[in-house]
Amino acid sequence: MILFAVSFGTLDPSEVGIRYNNNLVEIDQNKVYNNGRYFLGLGSWFVKFPAQLQTIEFNDEGFRGSIAAWSKEKQTVNLDISFGFKIDRNRVIDIYRRYDHDYAEVFAQIAVAVVKDVAIRYEASDFFVNRRAIAEQMKRTLRVRLKEEYATLEVFNLRGIDIPDKFERKIVEKVVQAQEERTAEEIRLTNVLRAKIEVIKARGDAQINLTLSTAQAERKRLIQEATSLGQAKLREQEAISYQSLQSALGLPGENLLKYRWAQIMDKLEESNADLPRPRKLEFIVGFKSPSLEVTIP
């Protein structure tokens, strides 16, 4: 019963395993076991691997210290990072054959190499100005490297950046200067944009004024044209009326014009009291009054 009992192996939900046969001193290379209880046989047990997320950290407070890297200008930069990974459960046998259970240390050394390789591409000031871009570059590179080792990078954080105090002051001054230059450039671009807006506005106002002036001139032209046309129609109608009157009365044209002139002068004398009245008008014009007495036989 005791031998039968020890022939079983158990895996937790957070574990995967490989069957190890101690009698033959070899592993079963055909199957990876998930969580559960299995009959393995006497002298066999599971080589277990965690299936959940595993985390490695580099900082001064942990087992692994900060990563000392060089910047592009050969300045020392101390970086605190952490990353989380999962091993590929379908490739657990390959991981075991490569590293036994020391894969985590191998992944840590790979991370150190990646961080240093990426850091030397940037100046020290870039770690403050373009920190997110640098962290993203490290993350992408480390993901590719871990995939080659049958692991998946799930999380990467560039948690801390430290440089010597003397150099840090220079970095701060450089960053401040860069920000001031950037601010000045933004102000310049804003002023340029504002000037362009004013030019567009002035052109619009000029176009509006031109349109209004053109419309007003056209309106005046139409009014004058209509007035002239109306006066021409009025004079034409007057001529027709005078012609009809002349034909109806049988008056010569000269007498008709004298009669019309007498009417006009009478209206002028009525509207202008100070205008001297020609007492001999009836003898000059040939009519005693500006009225015609017509007798129809």
Strand locations in the chain, DSSP E?
8-11, 15-21, 26-27, 36-39, 44-50, 54-58, 67-70, 76-87, 151-162
| Ranges of residues in the chain whose predicted pLDDT is under 70 | 1-6, 165-177, 245-246, 249-251, 253-256, 258-261, 263, 265-297
Task: Quote the CA–CA distance of 112 and 161 in Å, as a whole number.
Answer: 15
Based on the domain organization, do 76 and 100 belong to the same domain?
A: yes
Three-state SS for 33? strand
pLDDT digit string, tens, across residues 21-76: 877 778 888 888 888 888 777 778 888 999 999 999 999 887 889 999 999 988 88
Amino acid letter for position 18: I
Based on the domain organization, do 149 and 95 belong to the same domain?
A: yes
Based on the domain organization, do 64 and 128 belong to the same domain?
A: yes
Amino acid letter for position 259: Y
112 occurs within a structural domain? yes
Based on the domain organization, do 159 and 79 belong to the same domain?
A: yes
186 occurs within a structural domain? yes
Q: What is the pLDDT of residue 240?
A: 78
| Domains contained in the chain, number | 4
Q: What is the pLDDT of residue 294?
A: 46
**Inter-residue contact 12 to 50 (CB < 8 Å):** no
Q: At which residue do the structure tokens 């001139």 appear?
A: 217
Q: What is the pLDDT of residue 256?
A: 67
**Whole-structure pTM over 0.85, yes or no?**
no
Q: Which residues are paired to 85 by β-bridges? A: 54, 153
From the list 28, 21, 15, 20, the residue with the least C-alpha distance to 47 is 20
Question: Mean pLDDT over all residues of the chain?
Answer: 80
Task: Quote the CA–CA distance of 195 and 269 in Å, as a whole number.
Answer: 68
Amino acid letter for position 282: E
Give the range of the structural domain holding residue 265, as residue numbers without chain letter.
252-290
Q: To the nearest 5 percent, what fractions of the chain are helix, strand and coil?
A: 55, 20, 25
Task: Quote the CA–CA distance of 270 and 279 in Å, as a whole number.
Answer: 14
Q: What is the pLDDT of residue 224?
A: 83
Based on the domain organization, do 67 and 131 belong to the same domain?
A: yes
Q: Which residues are paired to 9 by β-bridges? A: 38
296 occurs within a structural domain? no
Three-state SS for 60? coil
Based on the domain organization, do 233 and 256 belong to the same domain?
A: no
* String of DSSP letters for 123-171: -TTHHHHSHHHHHHHHHHHHHHHHHHTTEEEEEEEEEEEE--HHHHHHH
Q: What is the pLDDT of residue 177?
A: 66
Q: What is the pLDDT of residue 281?
A: 44
Task: Quote the CA–CA distance of 241 and 237 in Å, as a whole number.
Answer: 6
